[in-house]
Structure 1
Amino acid sequence: HAFPSIDNPASNAICSKFNFSFIKECEFEYPPGSYMRCNNWRLEIK
């Protein structure tokens, strides 16, 4: 999984370019105690 910020178009474009599958928007805790809105991307490895 990759969790780039929704406000980071470059990171999201890399995920898309390398065939990660977009799952959904979510909140991710990083650093501990601080939450950011991000996109959940998944790469299936066969």
Structure 2
Amino acid sequence: MQIPVVAETKERGKRSILVSMMNLKKMVFEELEISWETSRKKNVFYERK
């Protein structure tokens, strides 16, 4: 009767790892987007001069 519980915990572990990986990717993409936006604004600022 304990085998399903072990399988469930394994699945939960996999899922949590997947979720954390997705969150990490999201964070990285947001950081890249922010830095890209700031650099683009800087370029526009420099081009106006």
Quick check: TM above 0.5?
no
Of Structure 1 and Structure 2, which has the larger fraction of its residues in helix? 2
More strand by share: 1
**More contact order relative to length (CA 8 Å, sep ≥ 6):** 1
